[in-house]
Structure 1
Amino acid sequence: MDTRRLLLTSATLFATTGLLLGSFGCSSGTTSSPSPSRTVSTSAQGKVQGEDRAALAPYYTQKLSWRACGVPGFECSTMKVPLDYAKPGDGNVGSGDIKLAVSRKKATGPGKRIGSLLVNPGGPGGSAIGYLQAYAALGYPAPVRARYDMVAVDPRGVARSEPVECLTGPEMDAHTQVDQTPDDAAEIARLSTAYDTFAAGCEQRSKRVLPHVSTVEAARDMDVLREILGDEKLQYVGASYGTFLGATYAELFPDRTGRLVLDGAMDPSLASRDMNRDQTAGFETAFQSFAADCVKRQTCPLGTGTPAQAATRLKELFAALDAKPVPTRDKSRPLGEALATTGVIAAMYDEGAWPQLSAALTAAQGGNGNGLLALADSYYERDSHGKYANLMYANTAVNCLDLPPAFTSPADVKSALPSFEKASPVFGEGLAWASLNCASWPVEATGKPHRIEAKGAAPIVVVGTTRDPATPYKWAKALAGQLATGTLLSYDGDGHTAYGRGSDCIDTTINTYLLEGTPPKEGKQCS
């Protein structure tokens, strides 16, 4: 399980792998003690607000050439942005510029077109274009699609936009099987070496872009796209990590911020180690909800006792797979503890995946690892030919740039293990060790934990789900409290994110905001 703040909306990964469930992701974090709050520096704000506009004019004034692409009804194009906003080029893609892929589906009517609605599914590393074409432009409520052009840009380093690459398919296969609950010094050394190898591969294959895939830079790219599209304000729906991207945009460009929906929100004031520990507790909450449902059923593979007993049985299964992996249809990838844990975590993202998880656990207990392997493969975006999307590579690259590493040595992890295991007896150990993966990253982090207030922005709707595994509900409360114009909309339910997942109350409230600009009353709750 290689996880560090992989946060995706619950329609993304399963949709892209052909499964009929929601997507998932998980996290590993940074720093043990709270960091002081901060806002964007004065110099950074000065550049964003105007002093570099002349140098950026070739980007803001470019014209996109649209062409039909992919699914019928969609158009695609590419836009140019500076590789480094501190040193913009002349608008010609070369050593100083990069190209980003953009897609849209025009408003269908009836009703007057409002403008463009930019969507992002999270990750970091999730393909916004893949999400748009597979789900958003078809699955978003019809009244929204009628009056907005649905638009997506793959962020820099992601999918179709100068993707970060790190390992070959076989190398990634080996990486995903490394034991992340090491029992001795030799296993700790192997895990550390795996992270070193991953980082070295990223540097070797993607050295040019690695220093320039931060969330701040991606937010600045969105502002270029906003102006190219002819929109005075950015209208945006961001899910999961996409909430951090949207909040960052509002922080940089409050006067250009329109109707923002931040669904499954992150708390930007948290250091990564604290973030990962919170998320570890979130996965425990989700597992307890799954277990409580499972043990009511005679077919539950974890027994018919209590959720605590179910957790013990799952840990026993993980221990058995650690000692002796079971075969799968892929002889080179037997199901060991690492892949099995990833498969279970994957299914925590959507309660619709619980029946599939139960069947997969039953099969694994019987010596057949195919079900859990399929869930793990969907998490990693691995296809049947052994090819991985760049999701995990971009995810690590962005996270390691956005925040300092959670741990810099195995000794740091060991000292934090008790707190992680307290947060989750089932997943705590593995998620703590997963937080070591930025320790040897070749590029120093440029971001720090900080509060985002975005003073001067239009009203922003922050959505939180009470039993969300990947973005705990308290994060949504925290972000809504930080934002000067934030309003919290709560969903009492399971799974990751809320919009478009079956709650008429949530959907109606968000639709009203997107179509009329009227945010919900503070404290509104849906179920």
Structure 2
Amino acid sequence: MGGRHARTPRLLASLLTLTLLAGCTFAGGDGGAPTPTGTATQDGFSTDGPVTSTSTPDADGAPAGLEDFYGQQLEWTDCESLFECANLEVPVDYEDPGGPTIELAVLRAGASGEPQGSLVVNPGGPGASGVDYAMMAGAVVSREVRAAYDVVGFDPRGVARSAPITCFTDEQMDTFLGTDPSPDDPAEERAVEGELKDFAQACETNAGDLLGHVSTVEAAKDMDVLRAALGEPRLTYLGASYGTFLGTTYATLFPDRVGRLVLDGAIDPTLTGLEMGLGQAAGFERATRAYVENCVGGGSCPLGDDVDTAMVAIPAFLDEVDAHPLPVSGDTVTELTEGWAMLGIIVAMYSQDIWPILTQALGRAQQGDGTLLMFLANSYASRHSDGTYTGNGMQAIYAVNCLDRPADEGPDLDSAAVEEQFEAASPTWGRYLAGDGACEYWPVHAEQTLQDYSAQGAAPIVVIGTTRDPATPYEWAEALADILDSGVLISYDGDGHTAYGRSNDCVDDAVDAYLLEGTVPQDGLRC
């Protein structure tokens, strides 16, 4: 990019690497799911309210020292009238099961018909709430699956109601997300570096020992404790986006306990952080071009009259906002900065349903009003216009990602060459993705990582990829289906993030037949 300073760590790089909250459901800046009436506490739900039922645990095969965790009974209490809530106790450190413990919040949306078992769901992130996701069970799965399964969601460790890791205050997060994500001079670089260091330090100070124990490996171990507490001999699971990495990790650790697993919007677990960033750069560029083609084809596109002109107009617009932030009304953030504008555009790449709103927001921005684009940015950040955030997803994502995929480093890593790679992959978004963000300053490292994700011996695992998915590029689904010893690939030719429940009957029918009847889809099915 002409005039840009040599690469430094990018503030939003790791927010845009694996963030993108799967299902990134669009509810607007003041939207969000209801909160269960069982009171949310630092460690799960309080136990007020009548106990309506218990689960009979299936603790067969519990690892040594974890028998009590695997044998625990979930005490379900009524919450939000329609659901049941419980707490699951797990050790902070699985290598020290006699040490400190935390409670994970669990929610069950009971089957609307005769239940055939529990379907555990995860919406991604990392940092998104599985509890909130299960509350939306009617939109997450088909009517037939909803009738046949208790849909169960849990907030992974460090997320939402499960011992949430909160590093910055809401006001500090506003500053963090609004900071210039593409510094132009040494002073701006120092400001960004300072924000990243402060954030990492605040996480270490506020999270304590838990900060080193929120990896996906540990979340997958929690999920097996949940499986046992639900009384299920095998796990039936639907994971989206990052939820596919969680599901893949589970299958790797517990292949003999895999039931019917569906991984939608798949992640290649073998990629480094740098490789994932490059993949997403290409994915978002492809998705952005699809949006632009739609905008131009509809006439009166505020970006221009032809696709190439309109593509160039997006980074030019962001540069202009960087130089001259736009006023915002009705929000505690009064100026739309480049950081907020970028999030407002990015969120629309998750679903073509948002494209018309983005077009309108860009048109208003051209007239000097950043309010609607800020509204979109809020929907991405799970932020309300009063400055409060729903959950801690925008902070927990760092805590998980920096353990799972620490900053790329080494003598052969040429930062200038890396930036060139990113900008070649995505002239629009490459400059924002070419870095490791706060992971460069992360104070802790994961104690256990995995190398082989083949999950040999597991039952068939269904992997779904969307050809123009921005956040989890289609190539990742192809790779995961090949990596898994029992992987079966469904391909959806379309736009947006994930496919099941939002694309077409071909995908939905194949997934439903698998979940309901165990009918494994044809490998390579194209929809």
Calculate the TM-score normalised by the size of structure 2.
0.89
Structure 2 counterpart of 1:322? 322
- Alpha-carbon distance in structure 2 between the residues aligned to 1:115 and 1:216: 25
Structure 2 counterpart of 1:86? 95
- Alpha-carbon distance in structure 1 between the residues aligned to 2:167 and 2:407: 19
Q: Deviations over 1:237-273 (max 9, x none)?
A: 0000000000100000000000000000000111110
- Alpha-carbon distance in structure 1 between the residues aligned to 2:476 and 2:494: 16
| Residue 396 of structure 2, aligned match among 384, 388, 394 | 394
Structure 1 counterpart of 2:311? 311
Structure 2 counterpart of 1:419? 421
Partner secondary structure for residue 357 of structure 2: helix
Q: Deviations over 1:504-527 (max 9, x none)?
A: 11100000000111111111011x
Taking a change above 3 Å as real, the CA distance of residues 327 and 254 of structure 1, as seen in their structure-2 partners, is same
> Is the 8 Å Cα contact of residues 271 and 449 (structure 1) preserved in structure 2?
no
- Alpha-carbon distance in structure 1 between the residues aligned to 2:408 and 2:350: 24
Q: Determine if the alignment matches structure 1 residue 492 to structure 2 residue 493.
A: yes
Offset of 1:138 from its aligned partner? 4.6
- Alpha-carbon distance in structure 1 between the residues aligned to 2:258 and 2:88: 21
> Is the 8 Å Cα contact of residues 215 and 446 (structure 2) preserved in structure 1?
no
- Alpha-carbon distance in structure 2 between the residues aligned to 1:413 and 1:460: 38
> Is the 8 Å Cα contact of residues 252 and 453 (structure 2) preserved in structure 1?
yes
Structure 2 counterpart of 1:101? 105
Structure 2 counterpart of 1:223? 224
Aligned sequence identity (%): 49
> Is the 8 Å Cα contact of residues 252 and 454 (structure 1) preserved in structure 2?
yes
1:76 alignment partner AA: C
2:93 alignment partner AA: D
Q: Determine if the alignment matches structure 1 residue 130 to structure 2 residue 132.
A: yes
- Alpha-carbon distance in structure 2 between the residues aligned to 1:56 and 1:413: 45
Structure 2 counterpart of 1:37? none
Q: Deviations over 1:443-479 (max 9, x none)?
A: 1244657441000000000000000000000000000
2:315 alignment partner AA: K
> Is the 8 Å Cα contact of residues 13 and 381 (structure 1) preserved in structure 2?
no
**Please, which moves more after superposition, 468-477 or 335-344?**
335-344
Taking a change above 3 Å as real, the CA distance of residues 252 and 493 of structure 1, as seen in their structure-2 partners, is same
Q: Determine if the alignment matches structure 1 residue 437 to structure 2 residue 441.
A: no
> Is the 8 Å Cα contact of residues 266 and 479 (structure 1) preserved in structure 2?
yes
- Alpha-carbon distance in structure 1 between the residues aligned to 2:145 and 2:526: 22
Offset of 1:303 from its aligned partner? 1.3
Partner secondary structure for residue 494 of structure 2: strand
Gaps of 5+ in 2: 1-10, 34-58
Partner secondary structure for residue 518 of structure 1: coil
Structure 2 counterpart of 1:525? 526
2:248 alignment partner AA: A
2:19 alignment partner AA: L
- Alpha-carbon distance in structure 1 between the residues aligned to 2:332 and 2:75: 47
Partner secondary structure for residue 224 of structure 2: helix
Calculate the TM-score normalised by the size of structure 1.
0.89
Structure 2 counterpart of 1:279? 280
| Residue 57 of structure 1, aligned match among 60, 67, 83 | 67
Partner secondary structure for residue 168 of structure 2: coil
> Is the 8 Å Cα contact of residues 24 and 350 (structure 2) preserved in structure 1?
no
Taking a change above 3 Å as real, the CA distance of residues 263 and 16 of structure 1, as seen in their structure-2 partners, is farther
> Is the 8 Å Cα contact of residues 402 and 447 (structure 1) preserved in structure 2?
no
> Is the 8 Å Cα contact of residues 252 and 452 (structure 2) preserved in structure 1?
no
Gaps of 5+ in 1: 21-47, 90-94
Structure 2 counterpart of 1:9? 22
- Alpha-carbon distance in structure 1 between the residues aligned to 2:511 and 2:348: 26
Structure 2 counterpart of 1:27? none
For residues 369-380 of structure 1, what are the structure 2 equivalents within 5 Å? 369-380=370-381
- Alpha-carbon distance in structure 1 between the residues aligned to 2:471 and 2:27: 16
The number of equivalent residue pairs is 486
Structure 1 counterpart of 2:252? 251
- Alpha-carbon distance in structure 2 between the residues aligned to 1:442 and 1:129: 29
Offset of 1:333 from its aligned partner? 3.7
Partner secondary structure for residue 279 of structure 1: helix
